[in-house]
Amino acid sequence: MSTTATTAGADNQVAAVGGGADAAATGGSTAPGRTQMQIVVVGHVDHGKSTVVGRLLADTNSLPQGKLEAVRRECERTGKPFEYAFLLDALSDEQDQGITIDTARCFFKTASRDYIIIDAPGHIEFLKNMISGAARAEAAALIIDAKEGVRENSRRHGYILSMLGIRQVVVCVNKMDLVGHDEGHFNRIETEYRAFLQGIGAVSPKQFIPVSAISGDNLSIRSAKMDWYQGPTLLETLDGFAKAPGKSEASFRMPVQAVYKFTNAGDDRRIIAGRIEAGRVKVGDKVIFSPSNKSTTVKSIEGFNIAPRTEIDAGWSTGFTLSEEIYVTRGELMSHAGRAPQVSTRLRANVIWLGRRPFVQGRDYKLKLHTVATSVRIHKLLKVIDASEIDGQLGKDHVGRHDVADVVLETRNPVAFDLIGDSEATGRFVIVDGYDVAGGGIITAAESDEQDDLRAEARRRDFNWVKGAVSAAERAEQQGHRAALVMFVGKSGTGKHRYARALEKALFDQQRSVYMLDGSNVLLGVDQDLVWVDANQAELVRRFGEVAHLLLDAGLLVVSTTNAIGLGDFGAVQALIPHAPSLVIEVDPGGASTQSCDLRIRGTESEADVIAQIVDLLTKRQILAAAAPQNAR
């Protein structure tokens, strides 16, 4: 035990009531009025993580009765020098024998709160585990060996903590006994490490502490050997960390996780379910869904075995019924109208890559962002960095394993999100390569894409739209189908028009409310003022999209072709009708097109055959016939 201990940290220990396994046995059950904090201890291998943890457990009296003595005796018997790190091994042996408690997560208590230490391995091989563990932490202690100095994983872990959003980081410069408890040495490490983090754009730690984990100096007890250090001990620093402020005061965000309609036992509630990631919402609030721009008000807050409530806030996995039955799906982001999230197909992000195969340009990956899953590619690779090096910029054209990168990503469909600084849970994502999560990232900026202006126009329009007396759901119910756009695309002379007309007729004969919107007719009327001037293609497209929007708002199935507007502009039309599903049917005689579409035909198929396939698609997408009940998943 340390002989240099003063009593400065003593009051940290008094709360370790009962000693023994108490802290462990009741782990996770925090007495009323006490708070709990999950922390992670990281750092380069052998810099002293286990020693720090063992010491904290011992000094706060959080070990099972007699454990410390038993390990000391065992060391004496075998002639091994005692190590605090052995305490963790001893605990985990017990675990294996099923005797006690939870060693994967050690518990200790101070006067102010209960701590759970999440196990996060330091070895680079285990970076996946380190990230999985650290992502759950609210605060972190990063250990740097004073003698060895800043090493690869000191840097990498520092960067990762910042990226994971862990803002409360304390750095322990450990093994100060090996450098003569020298202040200058400590200061040099602090300066070097802060400069590194700053250079890489990571958040700077809150506190640097010179410690000697072996003797416990400046962990729970103030060191007499380093009186030049006036700052707090490790325990004081941890106790000084604030619980993450509740997210309830931020802008309301709830990613739609599912829409449930469980009809058994006469339940007719249609519930929009999800977890509120930020903010709060009340019954009666007007809410919007992005990217579809649909809006309505909250009718009720649902739950099982809970007291009825009229308001709910961040953290709750809840569900709402809405005053109007709007059709929304998983992946949309629910918010208040005045404080809507960003919507785009392009986002700038910092990505860390963990996959065995590199992250490369030109390949499709899956992006999982809150409850969205969509296809994504690298649009621009701005910078690839080795986060373990001081000047780690790599001139690479791909992102290798354990590299980090500054990229612009492009999603196939527009997604709703926030910047990481505005809302954490909706500002970060993972990337799936094949079957596995292979990377993670935080969104640093929204990049504009070609459709930005039109999307903004649509949002302005939709958020202020004056609704008629008949809702979209009521129309759908009466007609037996929802509104949708079926667009035939492809080169001219491939038969788009012929198929479109046949589809209109066939749907009409099936009693559907259908209308063939021919672009030429829009030119003849709505665009009259433009055709004689030097026609502005973008404005023609915009007008076409707005006309389509009106027809869709009327609840129609709209059939059209790109003859008049040109193929490249369909994305623009889609940006103007975010609330209606659209099917793209490509007529491609050559069969070589790589355009993304919902159905590709050659142009030689019979009309009846093509119509049958389209009707099938419309039914699968629950546009036809399935007016109200949705897939419960």
Partner 1 sequence: MNYLDQLEQQSVYILREAFRHFERLCMLWSIGKDSTVLLWLARKAFFGHVPFPLVHIDTSYKLPEMIAYRDRLAMEYRLTMVVGQDEEAIRAGRTFPATQHLPDGHPDKLSRVDCCGILKRDTLKATLQGTRPRKRLNLDTGKYEPDADLLPYHGVIVGARADEEGSRSKERYFSPRDKNNAWDVGDQPPEFWNQFKTDFAPGTHVRIHPLLDWTEVNIWEYIKRENIPTVSLYYDQGTGTRYRSLGCGPCQAPIQSTARNVDEILVELRSGKLKDVAERSGRLQDGKHGLEELRREGYM
What is the footprint of ligand GDP within residues 108-127 (CB under 6 A)? 122
| Touching ligand GDP, residues 401-420 (CB under 6 A) | none
Q: Which residues pair with 38 in a beta bridge?
A: 116
State the minimum distance, in angstroms, from the CB of residue 196 to partner 1. 23
Cα–Cα distance between 162 and 172 in angstroms, integer?
17
State the minimum distance, in angstroms, from the CB of residue 39 to partner 1. 14
Distances (CA, A) of 296 to 85, 209, 289, 338, 371: 58, 53, 9, 14, 21
Distances (CA, A) of 369 to 161, 326, 441, 454: 19, 23, 10, 24
Contact with ligand GDP (CB under 6 A) among 60, 61, 162, 174: 174
Q: How far is CA 279 from the centre of its chain?
A: 16
CA dihedral 222, 225, 226, 230 (to 10 degrees): 40
Contact with ligand GDP (CB under 6 A) among 2, 12, 13, 51: 51
Stretch that binds ligand GDP, among 44-52, 197-205, 488-496, 595-603 (CB under 6 A): 44-52
The contacts of residue 452 (CB under 8 Å, 6+ apart) are 344
State the minimum distance, in angstroms, from the CB of residue 451 to ligand GDP. 50
For residue 122, the partner it binds in ligand GDP, partner 1, none, with Cβ less than 5 to 8 A by kind, is: ligand GDP
Read off the DSSP letter of residue 6: -
Helices 67-78 and 85-96, interaxial angle, to 10°? 100
Sign of CA dihedral 414, 417, 419, 420: negative
Kindly tell me which of 120 and 404 has the beta carbon lying closer to partner 1: 120
- Burial class of residue 210, CB neighbours in 10 A (0-12, 13-18, 19+): buried
CB 283 within 8 A of CB 300: yes
State the minimum distance, in angstroms, from the CB of residue 441 to partner 1. 10
Contact between 156 and ligand GDP (CB under 6 A)? no
Cα–Cα distance between 256 and 272 in angstroms, integer?
7
Kindly tell me which of 155 and 481 has the beta carbon lying closer to ligand GDP: 155
CB 370 within 8 A of CB 418: no
Kindly tell me which of 100 and 593 has the beta carbon lying closer to partner 1: 100
Kindly tell me which of 178 and 567 has the beta carbon lying closer to ligand GDP: 178
Kindly tell me which of 303 and 480 has the beta carbon lying closer to partner 1: 303
Kindly tell me which of 52 and 614 has the beta carbon lying closer to ligand GDP: 52
- Across 240-293, the runs of DSSP E, i.e. the strands, are 254-255, 258-260, 271-275, 280-282, 286-290
CB 134 within 8 A of CB 153: no
Kindly tell me which of 316 and 463 has the beta carbon lying closer to partner 1: 316
Residue 415 token pair: 């997604």
Kindly tell me which of 30 and 613 has the beta carbon lying closer to partner 1: 30
State the minimum distance, in angstroms, from the CB of residue 277 to partner 1. 10
Q: What single string gives the DSSP state of each residue in 341-404?
A: -EEEEEEEEEEEE--SS-EETT--EEEEETTEEEEEEEEEEEEEE-TTSTT-EE--SEE-TT-E
For residue 305, the partner it binds in partner 1, ligand GDP, none, with Cβ less than 5 to 8 A by kind, is: partner 1
The contacts of residue 437 (CB under 8 Å, 6+ apart) are 354, 368, 430, 431
Kindly tell me which of 28 and 493 has the beta carbon lying closer to partner 1: 28
State the minimum distance, in angstroms, from the CB of residue 432 to partner 1. 6
For residue 177, the partner it binds in ligand GDP, partner 1, none, with Cβ less than 5 to 8 A by kind, is: ligand GDP
Kindly tell me which of 226 and 438 has the beta carbon lying closer to ligand GDP: 226
For residue 95, the partner it binds in partner 1, ligand GDP, none, with Cβ less than 5 to 8 A by kind, is: partner 1
Contact between 90 and ligand GDP (CB under 6 A)? no
Contact between 291 and ligand GDP (CB under 6 A)? no
Residue 619 token pair: 């039914």
Read off the DSSP letter of residue 266: G
For residue 245, the partner it binds in partner 1, ligand GDP, none, with Cβ less than 5 to 8 A by kind, is: none
For residue 124, the partner it binds in partner 1, ligand GDP, none, with Cβ less than 5 to 8 A by kind, is: none
Q: What is the 3-state secondary structure (H, E, C) of 599-618?
A: EEECCCCCHHHHHHHHHHHH
| Touching ligand GDP, residues 198-217 (CB under 6 A) | 212-214
CB 502 within 8 A of CB 611: yes
For residue 214, the partner it binds in partner 1, ligand GDP, none, with Cβ less than 5 to 8 A by kind, is: ligand GDP
Stretch that binds ligand GDP, among 18-26, 153-161, 174-182, 591-599 (CB under 6 A): 174-182
Closest CA to 391 of 89, 155, 41: 155
Q: 340 — alpha (psi -120 to 50), left (phi > 0) or beta?
A: beta
State the minimum distance, in angstroms, from the CB of residue 215 to ligand GDP. 7
Stretch that binds ligand GDP, among 40-48, 317-325, 427-435, 609-617 (CB under 6 A): 40-48
For residue 212, the partner it binds in partner 1, ligand GDP, none, with Cβ less than 5 to 8 A by kind, is: ligand GDP
Cα–Cα distance between 74 and 91 in angstroms, integer?
14
Read off the DSSP letter of residue 126: G
State the minimum distance, in angstroms, from the CB of residue 87 to ligand GDP. 10
CB 27 within 8 A of CB 101: yes
Contact between 218 and ligand GDP (CB under 6 A)? no
Kindly tell me which of 434 and 493 has the beta carbon lying closer to partner 1: 434
Stretch that binds ligand GDP, among 39-47, 164-172, 186-194, 491-499 (CB under 6 A): 39-47
State the minimum distance, in angstroms, from the CB of residue 100 to ligand GDP. 21
Contact between 47 and ligand GDP (CB under 6 A)? yes
Kindly tell me which of 98 and 591 has the beta carbon lying closer to partner 1: 98
Contact with ligand GDP (CB under 6 A) among 8, 15, 25, 45: 45
State the minimum distance, in angstroms, from the CB of residue 40 to ligand GDP. 13
In the complex, which residues of this chain contact ligand GDP (CB under 6 A)? 43, 45-51, 83, 85, 122, 174-175, 177-178, 212-214
